[in-house]
Homo-oligomer: A and B are copies of this chain.
Amino acid sequence: MNYMLKDENAIYYECGYSCDNALYLRFGKEAYFITDGRYTVDAKEHVRDAEVRIAADLYAEAVRLIKKHRIKKIVFDPKEWTVFGFERISSAVKCRLVPEPDFSHKKRIIKSDEELKILAKAAKLGRKAFKHLAKEIRSKGFGKDEYALTYMAKSVLSDYGRYDLSFDPIVAINANAAKPHATPTETILQKDDLLLVDAGLKYKRYCSDRTRTVQADKYLMFDTHQRFKRKKIQKAYDLVLKAHDHAIAKARSGMKAKKVDALTRDIITKAGYGKYYVHSTGHGVGLDIHEMPYISSRSETHIEDGMVYTIEPGIYIPGEFGIRIEDMVAMVDGRAKVL
């Protein structure tokens, strides 16, 4: 099989190295990693199972290689290539370029044992970071605004610059938590506020992802047992937790992803909160923070052993509060194991 890759994580998956300016070509058993002179030393040291080619014009070099090998057909992911980059190649070669959306993501949907170990370690580091963050917030978070708290989350999750982050952490207070993709505001954390934190870090390039919604007081902990002052919040929280726990207990390999989605959604919908659960149950996690499988109400994907994804039901009452509880699970021996 022949294919060409442009995405940084897609390339890393193939050869154990990538950088922000590279192309990867595979022609049957032969493979090429093309980059520019800035990355010569690193590429030659780290690229596995591919020949490193250094070129000022990456596309021209790809065209040369395609012609040299007289390649007739190459698969590419149209979500990964810009029209510009694609046409630099397609206009210069006669071979057939076959679009296959999500080509690399499809290859990566089942994690290897090695990948599972790395993801488990990433999740463990993420869990430890949440513990550390709780301590930081208890001792100096009150009176700080969401900008400062987000910065605190970045500092702790990255272990003060040691790790990259999976994404910019979400740290949202009360009504701000009602936006699933909240950005920081000047809202200040006060005693008894509801606090939502969604954050993750990268370990060996693999992502962790976790969300906790907690009562902010001097006992603040990022565990799932929470006692909120407002009954309305407690009721919604207990429902989200029930949905979260239920899906983790009942998800099985062989189920369709939409069935897993229903495990959380049915509980929330039956309790009358369906319209406040505005997103799907979860998403795969690996080199990308969002990858396959997508755990949505429309996904026909069959869940299999070796898949890693999030379970993250939520309830968002606009203008009041938002709740989300998220963990990563790996399918092992037919069941969902929390990482």
Contact = CB atoms under 8 A, between A and B. Distances in A.
B81 A82 contact: yes
A80 B82 contact: yes
Contacts of A184: 161
Interface in A71-88: 76, 78-84, 86-87
Contacts of A80: 82
Identical chains in the assembly: 2
Interface stretch (A151-159, A198-206, A234-242): A151-159
A72 B162 CA distance: 53
A79 B80 CA distance: 12
Nearest to A148: B161
A160 interface: yes
Nearest to A20: B181
A207 to B, nearest CB: 17
Nearest to A79: B84
Contact of A78 (B82, B150, B158, B161): B82
A306 B179 CA distance: 39
Contacts of A81: 82-83
Contacts of A151: 155, 158, 160-161
Nearest to A168: B164
A60 interface: no
Interface string A76-105: 101111111011000000000001010000
A84 to B, nearest CB: 4
A65 interface: no
Contact of A181 (B38, B78, B99, B162): B38
Contacts of A152: 161
A147 interface: yes
A278 B36 CA distance: 12
Given A148-B161, A155-B155, A162-B147, A38 B84 contact: no
Interface of A: 37-38, 76, 78-84, 86-87, 99, 101, 147-148, 150-152, 154-155, 158, 160-162, 179-181, 184, 278
